[in-house]
Structure 1
Amino acid sequence: MSLQQRMQNVEQRIRAACARSGRQRNSVKVAAVTKYVSLDTTIRAVEAGLTNVGENRWQDAQPKWEAIGSKASWHFLGHLQTNKVKEVVGRFDYIHSLDRLSLAKELHKKADALDISVNCFIQVNVSGEESKFGLPPGELFSFAEQLRTLDRIHVAGLMTMAPYESEPEATRPVFAGLRSLRDELNERKILAAPVTELSMGMSNDFEVAVEEGATWLRLGTVLVGKEEE
């Protein structure tokens, strides 16, 4: 399929999932994950209207960021090492992978030096898979307490990755679990402002994620394709 055909297909599927779950289409946003496509394809995607771009590593994102810059809003999706924070803060509008206090402190330090705030999603390992990063669900609330003193960090929402399942329906408990954690976090009023966003749902399972309340989808292959290196 062409880029336009993939975009139309994804749009139809998101609209159908919103209709099934009684949601407004404008409550769901999409970050186009471009880690498997070239600079040229990324530029075409942005020109076609996919102006939220997600990348996993700065070294891969750098040529795209330098070419596209402020024409897109940039989302850092991968595991972030503390020694890479200086390359990410100030360039990426959202960081979806905040999962430990040492990283939070480094993000705060760099943001303070730049006199900006940084929008972060706390990554939670809802599924408990050892291969995935993220806080165990039981540590979320104490972690949020620790973030209260780091005023340069704005917690926009929570993020999780579901296991890859041949039947996407099997991912539903993971997405429902993240939504429940967000709601409880807000009920406890740990943070200064309510947490509104849920970053969950990828190419294989995004329709289930929409039905369970996703506000940010991270879509790569199903949306922009995959190119062989």
Structure 2
Amino acid sequence: MSIQQNLLQIKSLLPSNVTLVAVSKTKPVEDLMEAYNAGQRIFGENKIQEMTEKWQQMPKDIEWHMIGHVQSNKVKYMVPYVKLIHGVDSLKLLKEINRQAARWRKNINCLLQIHIAEEETKFGLDENELIELLNSDEFKEMSNVKVIGLMGMATFTENQEQIKKEFDNLKSIFDKSKKLKTENCQLNTLSMGMSGDYQLAIDCGSTMVRIGSSIFGSR
């Protein structure tokens, strides 16, 4: 099937409240344009340099999402155009995003990454660190970032029960954290689920899925 057919098939299965991020990392601009011409406007990249090059070449009505792990010293390169940063996992990184956004007189939306997987390699905050961050005076004083939700990645396993348990855990943390509303924190997005597990993630309450290989083919 073509990229266009893959995309239309996936979109036909998604509930209306679920946002599709087409994960286009490592794929050429021609492939992204095929998805764009089929109506896709939200693309996710995991390397800032690659995302910036694509942003320069492609139509300007695209929403670019940074879905990879972000190094503080690279933030400045994407601030002019990035729409949402998914993997924010520390107060330090949030401070740098806020600082760079202030230079551009912009507000940047962020998702805080929660560690739900059993693998040690995955980044993220635990529930206590999340609450501590959202309640901190340092965070509340940031006027150029807005935390609009949480994201997390399940363990890479065939065990559906384990994946479901991890997604349910993230949904529970999300529901509890929603009460912590401040000027720069209104949690309405729960990003979990990728090509292999997005239907299960939606069943568990995800409102944003990141799908790459099911659209563009394997890498």
Query: TM-score scaled by structure 2?
Result: 0.92
Counterparts of 1:61-72 in structure 2, within 5 Å, are 61-72=51-62
Task: Using the TM superposition, give the Cα deviation of residue 158 of structure 1 relative to its aligned residue in structure 2, in angstroms.
Answer: 0.1
Task: Using the TM superposition, give the Cα deviation of residue 218 of structure 1 relative to its aligned residue in structure 2, in angstroms.
Answer: 0.4
Q: List alignment gaps of at least 5 residues for structure 1.
A: 15-24
Offset from partner CA, 1:7-47 (integer Å, 9 cap, x none): 23323443xxxxxxxxxx22101000001311110111111
Counterparts of 1:1-229 in structure 2, within 5 Å, are 1-14=1-14, 25-146=15-136, 147-187=139-179, 189-192=180-183, 193-227=185-219
Offset from partner CA, 1:64-92 (integer Å, 9 cap, x none): 11111423111000110010010121211
> 2:52 touches 2:78 (CA, 8 Å); kept in 1?
no
For 1:110, what is the secondary structure of its paired residue? helix
* Higher fraction of helix: 1
Alignment size in residue pairs? 216
For 2:54, what is the secondary structure of its paired residue? helix
> 1:42 touches 1:64 (CA, 8 Å); kept in 2?
no
Distance 2:152 2:71 in 1: 18
Runs of 4 or more, structure 1, over 4 Å off, are none
Distance 2:142 2:126 in 1: 21
Q: How many percent identity over aligned positions? A: 32
- RMSD between aligned alpha carbons? 1.6
Distance 1:206 1:33 in 2: 13
Structure with the larger RCO, 1 or 2 (CA within 8 Å, 6+ apart): 1
1:117 alignment partner AA: N
Distance 1:164 1:135 in 2: 18
